[in-house]
Amino acid sequence: MTTYLNHFIGGTLVEGESTRTSPVYDPAKGTVSKEVRLASVGDVDTAVSAAAAAFPAWRDASLAKRQSVIFTFRELLNARKSELAEILTSEHGKVLSDAAGEIARGLEVVDFATGMPHLLKGEYSENVSTGVDVYSVKQPLGVVGIISPFNFPAMVPLWFFPIAIAAGNTVVLKPSEKDPSAANWLAELFLEAGLPAGVFNVVHGDKEAVDALLEHPVVQSISFVGSTPIAKYIYETAAHHGKRVQALGGAKNHMLVLPDADLDLAADAAVNAGFGSAGERCMAISVLLAVDSVADELVSRIAQRMSTLKTGDGRRSCDMGPLISKPHRDKVASYLDVAEADGATVVVDGRAIEVDGDADGFWFGPTLLDHVPLSSTVYTDEIFGPVLSVVRVSSYAEGLEIINNSQYGNGTAIFTNDGGAARRFQREVTVGMVGINVPIPVPVAYHSFGGWKNSLFGDSKAYGPQGVQFFTQEKAITSRWLDPSHGGLNLGFPEHD
């Protein structure tokens, strides 16, 4: 009997009017676990209407009440995070330890959101003119839309909705149809924490649902994470319809290794950052820029470490799981043929590996390519899989130039023991997030996440101070309480005295 995943609207599960569905796979088995319902325009409107109806009461709820609900949600999520990790592994394929790490990073944003009463404080200027005070307040936008990707079905929504809700907004979340169950689980948990029905809604779907959110006149903002072409489309479409937009796009993250670096540390970092979550993350290191004098030794150490990795079912204590789907696995594998045709060396081939898992799983092992030319699509494309490309450079200057010439500017890292080189790199590199001997420089929750260039569309990064600013609008009030003895008419332009 087929299991269907419904929408979560107004505090309850809803089938919706659409009869379209999409299969949800267990990537480690290659089998369909359920069918997810795909929303129609009408279904999206139902969710937006539920969020709009819930907004006035939630906006007017005291900061203490909102904070109490966020705290309770935080405690419930922390207590039951193993349940969520199992859901992530069963639908995305990432190993359980990686799923637990994803949830932990999402919890950091929930922790940050518990401090919203402090973050919403405005400013006050007394007696700017005689008897006149000016102060500002931060107020919620209204109904906000969130469109999240398949690679982090828990963490990415958690980047947005705790801050949006703590600030007094109501939410419609459209998760990826490839691994949608985590979104329902989070929404139901928030309801259990005391969140009023309709404040947090989930609609499942494809482009029809996405476009309905982008065009809906009641939706005030859109938050998105995904590939660069889609991020650009989201930004342009939503902005055209008058919405505030934060659209985080793709990446091709470089790691520059200088001759004085600790090569063991660099090799460990390259493996961890290149193959964690099967390389399906926008902060993965996919290009290793190795200075010629240490390149051979570094490639050798990385290959040795890769030989110890175990690929298989994420529920079996493996190091790396499958890719999200068979078409994506096949696309990633096709880049190895391209690499060989373009003159690169396949040092470690992920196409033919032994796996600890079902033969029908979407398997592709860790892959290492050396001498990758900059003209190859292996270098220029965001492959989004466990493929690490080594590009050899003569110097720091050449490595920096390559990074800065990239269309992407999400994350980057430098490995060196030279403080001067590191300081110069952080100032000169045109990338939004920089690691110094740290391969994946994802900021903690009280800083903001986002890249430069074609890795970010819109003016706002995710979470942190910019996240609070994105989900609120400032109102300035100029106030005068007149003394009873003061009065009179004056039609001139107001002047400060």
CB 391, CB 374: distance < 8 Å: yes
DSSP state for residue 121 in the 8-state scheme:
-
Looking at residue 254, its amino acid is H
Q: Which pair of structure tokens corresponds to residue 418?
A: 């030279």
Ramachandran quadrant class, 453 (left: phi over 0; alpha: psi -120 to 50; beta: rest): left
**What are the Cα distances from residue 191, in Å, to 46, 162, 180?**
18, 13, 18
Helix, strand, coil shares of the chain, percent, nearest 5, are 40, 25, 35
**Total residues belonging to the chain:** 497
**Taking a C-beta distance cutoff of 8 angstroms, is the pair 146, 160 a contact?**
yes
Tell me the HSE value of 412 on the side-chain side, using a 13 A CA sphere.
26
- AA letter at 292: D
Angstrom distance (rounded) from CA 281 to CA 321? 13
Active-site residue among 191, 195, 273, 282?
282
Q: Is 282 a catalytic residue?
A: yes
Q: How many CB atoms lie within 10 A of CB 122?
A: 13
Instruction: Tell me the angle at which helices 155-166 and 96-113 cross, rounded to the nearest 10 degrees.
Output: 10
Catalytic residue set: 282
